[in-house]
Structure 1
Amino acid sequence: MIGAAIAHVLRSWRSLRLREGLAFASAGLLFGAIDLTSLLELSVGEQLPQVLARQLLVPLISCGVLLLCWLPAARSSLTHPARGARLVLATLLGSLLTMGVIYPLAWALPWPSLCDIYAASHGKPSCMNWRATAIAGDALWVFMPALMLVGMLEFRALRRRQGQTVEDLLREHSQLRRHALASRLAAMQAQVDPKLLFDALISIEQAYARQAPDASARLERLIGHLRVALPRLRDTGATLAGEAELIASYLDLLRDLDGTPPTFDCDLGPHGNRCLPPMLLLPLVQRALRLGRPTHCWLRAGPPLRLGFDEAGLCSDDAELVALSERLAVLDAKLTCHSADGRTEFSLELPP
Structure 2
Amino acid sequence: MIRHVWQSWRSLRWPEALVFVSAGLLFGAIDLTSLLELRVGDQLLPVIARQLSLPLISCAVLLLCWLPAARSHPAHPARRQRLVAATALGAVLSMGVIYPLAAALPWPSLCDIYAQTHGKMKCTMFRINAIIGDTLWVFMPALMIVGVLEFRTLRRRQDQAAQDLLREHSQLRRHALASRLAALQAQVDPALLFDALVSVEQAYGRDDPGASARLERLIRHLRVALPRLRDAGATLGGEAELIASYLDLLRDLNGDPPVFECELGSRGATQLPPMLLLPLVQRAVRLGHPRRCWLKAEQGITLGFDQPGLCSEDEDLASLRERLAVLDAKLVCTSGDGRTEFMLELPP
By the TM > 0.5 criterion, same fold? yes
In the alignment, which residue of structure 2 is the partner of 1:145?
Answer: 141
CA distance in 2, matches of 1:216, 1:118: 114
Q: What is the identity, as a one-letter code, of the residue corresponding to 2:93?
A: L
* Displacement of 1:232: 4.7
Map Cα deviations across residues 144-175 of structure 1 (whole Å, 9 max, x no partner). Answer: 11111111111111111111100000111111
CA distance in 1, matches of 2:229, 2:278: 20
* Displacement of 1:38: 2.1
Q: 1:303 aligns with which of 299, 306, 312?
A: 299
TM-score (norm: length of structure 2):
0.96
* Displacement of 1:124: 4.0
Q: CA contact under 8 A between 1:204 and 1:219: conserved in structure 2? A: yes
Matched, 1:95 2:79: no
The total of aligned residue pairs comes to 348
* Displacement of 1:55: 1.2
* Displacement of 1:267: 1.3
CA distance in 2, matches of 1:195, 1:233: 19
CA distance in 2, matches of 1:124, 1:333: 81
Q: CA contact under 8 A between 1:54 and 1:111: conserved in structure 2? A: yes
* Displacement of 1:134: 2.2
In the alignment, which residue of structure 1 is the partner of 2:233?
Answer: 237
* SS state at 1:37 partner: helix
CA distance in 2, matches of 1:102, 1:166: 44
Q: What is the identity, as a one-letter code, of the residue corresponding to 1:213?
A: P
Identify the range of structure 1 (127-136 vs 86-95) with the bigger mean alpha-carbon deviation: 127-136
Map Cα deviations across residues 11-47 of structure 1 (whole Å, 9 max, x no partner). Answer: 1111111111111101111111122222222222222
CA distance in 1, matches of 2:115, 2:306: 97
* SS state at 2:266 partner: helix
Q: CA contact under 8 A between 1:303 and 1:349: conserved in structure 2? A: no
Q: CA contact under 8 A between 2:239 and 2:278: conserved in structure 1? A: yes
* SS state at 1:16 partner: coil
In the alignment, which residue of structure 1 is the partner of 2:105?
Answer: 109
* SS state at 1:269 partner: coil
Q: What is the identity, as a one-letter code, of the residue corresponding to 2:38?
A: L
Matched, 1:214 2:210: yes
CA distance in 2, matches of 1:233, 1:293: 31
* SS state at 2:343 partner: strand
Map Cα deviations across residues 199-254 of structure 1 (whole Å, 9 max, x no partner). Answer: 11111111111111111221121121122122354321111111001000000000
CA distance in 1, matches of 2:185, 2:107: 84
Matched, 1:77 2:59: no
Matched, 1:29 2:16: no
Map Cα deviations across residues 29-77 of structure 1 (whole Å, 9 max, x no partner). Answer: 1111122222222222222211211111111111111111111111111
* Displacement of 1:303: 2.3
Matched, 1:174 2:136: no
Aligned-residue CA RMSD (Å): 1.4
Identify the range of structure 1 (314-323 vs 240-249) with the bigger mean alpha-carbon deviation: 314-323
CA distance in 1, matches of 2:105, 2:131: 18
Q: 2:244 aligns with which of 233, 242, 248?
A: 248
In the alignment, which residue of structure 1 is the partner of 2:160?
Answer: 164
In the alignment, which residue of structure 2 is the partner of 1:195?
Answer: 191
Q: CA contact under 8 A between 2:182 and 2:228: conserved in structure 1? A: no
Name stretches of at least 5 consecutive residues in structure 1 with no aligned partner.
none
In the alignment, which residue of structure 2 is the partner of 1:86?
Answer: 82
* SS state at 2:318 partner: helix
Q: What is the identity, as a one-letter code, of the residue corresponding to 1:96?
A: V
Q: What is the identity, as a one-letter code, of the residue corresponding to 1:335?
A: L
* Displacement of 1:95: 0.7
CA distance in 2, matches of 1:125, 1:232: 96
In the alignment, which residue of structure 2 is the partner of 1:11?
Answer: 7
Name stretches of at least 5 consecutive residues in structure 2 with no aligned partner.
none
Map Cα deviations across residues 104-156 of structure 1 (whole Å, 9 max, x no partner). Answer: 11111122222222233344443332133321221111011111111111111
In the alignment, which residue of structure 2 is the partner of 1:67?
Answer: 63
Matched, 1:280 2:280: no
